[in-house]
């Protein structure tokens, strides 16, 4: 991929070593710095991060597109490493940028969060803005997505408004939100699925998603206590065997999917959960992580109600 953009092979090597010091345009450096936060600590992003891109000539529409591309790539990264699938023929990126890269192990590992936490919601946008980027004109694609959301949820989530300038991505976001409503395998329970979503959003310290993940757990007995337990410090012994397998795997997938090994899948089989539940949890982590980072990076203001189908949530 890099040789397609940078004709000098040495530049590619210098980027892998440290993009901040590589001989590349300032806009490229700014993008790498922005994506570094998106991937590793999106909850620390502020309007200043958006302004830094604007100052280099990146407009709000493009910033929204970058965030959406990063969201989709987040999903692919977790699915690739989490599934343990073979590299495609001719693939060279993995050995260059992957887990064995010396420079990576020197700077830390994956998501910069060892346990779930919370983010200061005051960092979100204010003054009637739904996000840090300025939404553009509506389009037929956006109107269609807004109609769909109104039918399903009873309102249009601020997340839709925030990405109005790149409406073709709304199809992807709608698919993700639909899939996140419930487990898709027979052995992963709805309760466990809801726990995974809450855990992941806690790890990403996503105030935007917290409204939804908390409401999802409140549908179960002791829902508030469950939410508090799963979004607090990770204590494996506090969970029964099945929950522990599911949540420990979700932690690993959300934090550093490149560490996933075949033994993790065997753990699901040994617990009677099976490969389908494994794939269900991995997808839930990947989809939730993508949406959390999208919301964090654009400073999307929390909705006043959860993004749950109306039949699931009585407002």
For the segment 93-152, give every residue that binds another protein (CB under 8 A): 93-95, 97-101, 104, 109-110
23 touches another protein (CB under 8 A): no
Q: Does 36 bind another protein (CB under 8 A)?
A: yes
For residue 162, give the 3-state DSSP assignment.
Answer: helix
- Beta carbon nearer to another protein, 179 or 248: 179
Place of tokens 């991937």: 39
| Helices of type H across the chain | 2-5, 9-17, 26-40, 47-54, 60-83, 93-97, 102-107, 140-153, 158-162, 170-179, 190-203, 207-217, 223-230, 241-256, 262-270, 274-298
Interface residue with another protein among 65, 134, 156, 309 (CB under 8 A) is: 65
The site map against another protein for 170-189 (x = CB under 8 A) is -xx--xx--x----xx----
**Cα distance between residue 139 and residue 5, in whole Å:** 32
227 contributes a contact to another protein by CB under 8 A = no
Residue 182 burial by Cβ neighbours in a 10 Å radius (0-12, 13-18, 19+): middle
CB of 54 to another protein, least distance (A): 12
> Which CB sits closer to another protein, 27 or 225?
27
If binding means CB under 8 A, how many residues of this protein chain bind another protein? 77
The answer to whether 194 contacts another protein (rule: CB under 8 A) is no
Per CB under 8 A, the list member of 150, 261, 272, 315 interacting with another protein is 261
249 binds another protein (CB under 8 A): no
Non-local (6+) Cβ contacts of 233 within 8 A are: 115, 116
- Torsion of the alpha carbons at 40, 43, 49 and 53, rounded to the nearest 10: 60
Query: In the set 159, 287, 295, 301, which binds another protein (CB under 8 A)?
Result: 287
Shorter beta-carbon distance to another protein: residue 82 or 116: 82
Does 310 bind another protein (CB under 8 A)? Our answer is no
Classify residue 177 as exposed, middle or buried by CB count within 10 Å of its CB (0-12, 13-18, 19+). Answer: buried
Q: Identify which of residues 165 and 243 has a Cβ nearer to another protein in the complex.
A: 165
Backbone angles phi, psi at 199, to 5 degrees: -60, -50
Under rule CB under 8 A, residue 14 binds another protein: no
Q: Among 124, 283, 296, 302, which residue sits at the site for another protein (rule: CB under 8 A)?
A: 283
């Amino acid at each position: 991929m890099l040789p397609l953009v940078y004709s000098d092979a040495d530049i590619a090597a210098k980027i892998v070593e440290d993009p901040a010091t590589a001989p590349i345009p300032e806009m490229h450096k700014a993008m790498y710095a922005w994506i570094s936060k998106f991937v590793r600590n999106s909850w620390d992003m502020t309007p200043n991060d958006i302004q830094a891109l604007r100052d280099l000539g990146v407009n709000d529409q493009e910033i929204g597109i970058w965030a959406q591309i990063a969201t989709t790539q987040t999903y692919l990264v977790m699915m690739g490493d989490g599934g343990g699938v073979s590299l495609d023929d001719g693939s060279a990126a993995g050995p260059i940028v992957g887990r064995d890269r010396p420079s990576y192990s020197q700077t830390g590992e994956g998501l910069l969060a060892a346990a779930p936490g919370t983010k200061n919601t005051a960092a979100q946008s204010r003054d009637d803005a739904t996000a840090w980027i300025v939404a553009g004109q509506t389009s037929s694609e956006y109107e269609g997505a807004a109609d769909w959301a109104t039918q399903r949820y009873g309102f249009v989530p601020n997340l839709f408004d925030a990405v109005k300038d790149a409406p073709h991505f709304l199809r992807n976001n709608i698919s993700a939100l639909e899939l996140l409503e419930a487990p898709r395998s027979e052995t992963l329970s709805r309760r466990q699925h809801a726990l995974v979503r809450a855990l992941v959003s806690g790890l990403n310290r996503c105030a935007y998603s917290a409204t939804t993940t908390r409401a999802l757990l409140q549908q179960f007995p002791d829902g508030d206590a469950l939410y508090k337990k799963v979004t607090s410090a990770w204590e494996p012994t506090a969970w029964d065997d099945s929950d522990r397998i599911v949540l420990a795997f979700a932690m690993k997938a959300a934090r550093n999917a490149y560490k996933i090994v075949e033994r993790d899948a065997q753990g699901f089989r040994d617990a009677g959960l099976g490969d389908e539940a494994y794939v269900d949890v991995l997808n839930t982590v990947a989809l939730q992580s993508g949406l959390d980072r999208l919301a964090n990076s654009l400073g999307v203001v929390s909705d006043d109600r959860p993004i749950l189908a109306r039949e699931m949530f009585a407002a």
